[in-house]
Structure 1
């Protein structure tokens, strides 16, 4: 089919159908788990008492909390994470200088922590790659342990100077479930796998004195990366963590924030990739854009920072939703260009922007809609073709929203193409046209009925039960295709539209084919 010369009046939507195909296959018996002994905790802060948390920083139910991921794996003297194996630059964005740029440097950690204070960050989440299989100096991931004492010393020096640094939680980089010094692929449904999982978290906190811990509702924070690196997982690993952690750490059970790929019950949930597409499952995960051009072997993926506009839109979306927790993705992942830390390319721009929006977030300020040429318009529209004619409605070209220009039965149009992950056409509504935080709107689409089949519309809604916390709610209507080879019009009703740009590419709605 061909899609529309014109998308006319604009509004809200509901429901789309999906099908499920299940394949059955013979499953071989699981391989025998290796006989391994988990080593004791690597750090000194173990077997704590409740009184040890007297100086921990506490966040209660009424507090709004901003966190960020802190990548501390860089070491300029050895060129670790600075230069790729082929001698090329490993960084997409760059620190202002490589001097003293090292996880071994107290002054480097101290400078980063001071900048986090300037940005308004409450909780720093060191990205931890330590594992029970890497306790020995010289092992593959030992740097992750080695970098924590200088980090702690930096925290202590700031406190000695009367400066309150961000409190500390854990970002557990779960890729160590597969990549580690033992060469062990952890199965978290087995005794060894569960023990490995718990020991990794234990090791991190054993190296961080409790005076620096962030306690959310009285609980230390454990933010989990993707479950995909586990050979298998189930609820038992989380249950064991909740049972065993308090025995070694003064009766405290962790506040576990699961990445959405974890099929478990936890205290909260988020989706990784906020620097590519802001998401708001429970925790708001946002970032400034993405570019992993310097990473060898990856397919190109660039999300333009737009001079800070992408990041600002993400923050405005978060302010409109008023979550309890916002995680900035990331403080300093220079490889993937998701940094908000000071950088050679943009100076302190993103530190200043973060502070601006953190202050608004803490005060509960929601910025007013901007006034544009479409603020008082009754409709917005777009005529699709080789060059779209946009009148307050723009098509968004993203990986799963590819299309080709065509002229069909005398009208200019665009035909959806198979993209990465699906066949969609995405659209963004002019911000000035969005007259309220919750809108009742409608979308009319002119389409060429090449048939057979159907298509629908999915929109950014206030419905928390819809995909990605309402970002992809299907409209109730669908357009049926009969092969009449005529131009037709379909109307989609959107009764609870939010339209905060939560879809791919910052889009507000998409046509789904």
Structure 2
């Protein structure tokens, strides 16, 4: 329900004719005496969350539906350092400890509801909560409103009831000021009025914190905070985060205290999902991640959420990988510390100015086009590199670290993009790809530099 904002001056005529401090003092005393009585009949501001507990939370979206069929070239752009299945307790424990080492306070886990049949988001969540409790880590839910088991608003209502009666009471469940935190994905499935009725039914006392998603700030009439799942569509994510931070603050003026949750991302690559609108937002050797973090800091975010810990098909993972090693865990540790210490923005690293954590060379975008950068470990590993332009970005084409277990070769040839060929694991094919845009002499030089390795 929209609450009417208070008038900036309840007594605009009270000080008429008052010109100086000495004359104003009696009037001020009178005002102090009558103000409580006047306020008693004035409409109160919207019920809002109590002051946040003073904790600058760093959260990360987490997915628990990976199995033995996930780790294939045609499905993901990179592989975890250690392949795993989401049902494995050991993998959960390792991920929690890695996240803690990076300064992450909680995972926000996608959830399709309490059904257990063919729903590993529920069965794996139960185990994850126990593993988190054993390590003083926290878990929250990202309620997938368009999940396969939510056929109607009634299904959503029942699932939320179950969540509040079960998982939200688990010792590891994320609470702020004693209130369980619930993120929502695609709450736009239902209108604001429908959510108002639904929340009045399952949480009439507003004992939980609901965080909406998307570009419609109007849901803040019902929800307690807002986030954008992705900002990767923008080449200037910092400006977008500043803008949305202001929008959430403005919503607070209308509907009471709202929580601004700023999204940070290392990059994006969903080109293996088969989507018609798939695209790549290059990681730029950590520079894009820095842009999002700086935007979050500048927007005075209440909390920060990372998209993502392990969304592998969309290429937003920071979990240790075979292409990047622990680089993004290390970067997260630095940025999380800066945020929690209340520090301001930091200079973004120069694109590809420092050695890559992975031994293989990779293609980088420079003013002159494309250049291949090679390290001595790459020569020893026999890594080859191809560069290709995609949606205005330059992307590394690496072996995802598989040189450590299977070996590969991929030629650098202008106009040809060669897929890795796995020795002993069946052959890959070298397919014709787009000629790198603006490659020119720089790509020719990179190709010549790679020539000595082409025969290995």
TM-score between both structures, scaled by the size of structure 2: 0.56
> For residue 159 of structure 2, what is the aligned residue in structure 1?
200
Query: Displacement of 1:129 after TM fit?
Result: 2.1
Does structure 1 retain, via aligned residues, the 8 Å contact 2:290–2:348? no
What are the equivalent positions in structure 2 for 1:108-507 lying under 5 Å apart?
A: 108-130=91-113, 135=115, 137=117, 139=118, 142-158=119-135, 164-165=136-137, 167-176=138-147, 179-180=148-149, 184=151, 186=152, 193=153, 195-205=154-164, 206-207=166-167, 209-228=169-188, 230=189, 232-245=190-203, 253-261=207-215, 263-264=218-219, 265=221, 266-277=223-234, 278=237, 279-280=240-241, 281=244, 282-367=260-345
1:217 Cα deviation after fit: 3.1
Q: Where does structure 2 lack aligned partners over 5 or more consecutive residues?
A: 1-49, 245-259, 351-366, 369-388, 393-456
2:58 corresponds to which of 49, 54, 66: 66
Over aligned residues, Cα RMSD in angstroms? 3.1
Cα 1:207–1:64, aligned 2, differ >3 Å: closer, same or farther? Answer: closer
Q: What is the SS of the residue equivalent to 2:305?
A: strand
* C-alpha distance in structure 2 between counterparts of 1:272 and 1:215, whole Å: 21
**Partner residue, 2:414:** none
- 1:304–1:120 CA distance, 2 compared to 1 (3 A): same
The verdict on how the C-alpha distance between 1:113 and 1:213 changes in structure 2, with shifts beyond 3 A counting, is same
Judging changes above 3 Å, is the alpha-carbon distance between structure 1 residues 143 and 156 closer, same or farther for their aligned structure 2 residues?
same
Q: CA deviation at 1:92?
A: 1.7
TM-score (normalizing by structure 1): 0.50
8 Å contact kept, 1:332–1:340: yes
Q: Report SS of the residue matched to 1:96.
A: coil
How many equivalent pairs are there? 283
Structure with greater proportional helix content: 2
Change (3 A) 1:334 1:110: same
Distance 1:366 1:147, change over 3 A: same
Give the secondary-structure state (helix, strand or coil) at the position aligned to 1:116.
Answer: helix
5+ residue gaps, structure 1: 1-57, 159-163, 187-192, 373-387, 390-396, 401-513
Q: Equivalents in 1 of 2:134, 2:262: separation in Å?
A: 31
Q: Which has the larger radius of gyration?
A: 2
Higher strand share: 1
Q: Could you say which structure has the greater relative contact order, defined with CA pairs below 8 angstroms and 6 or more residues apart? A: 1
Change (3 A) 1:317 1:107: same
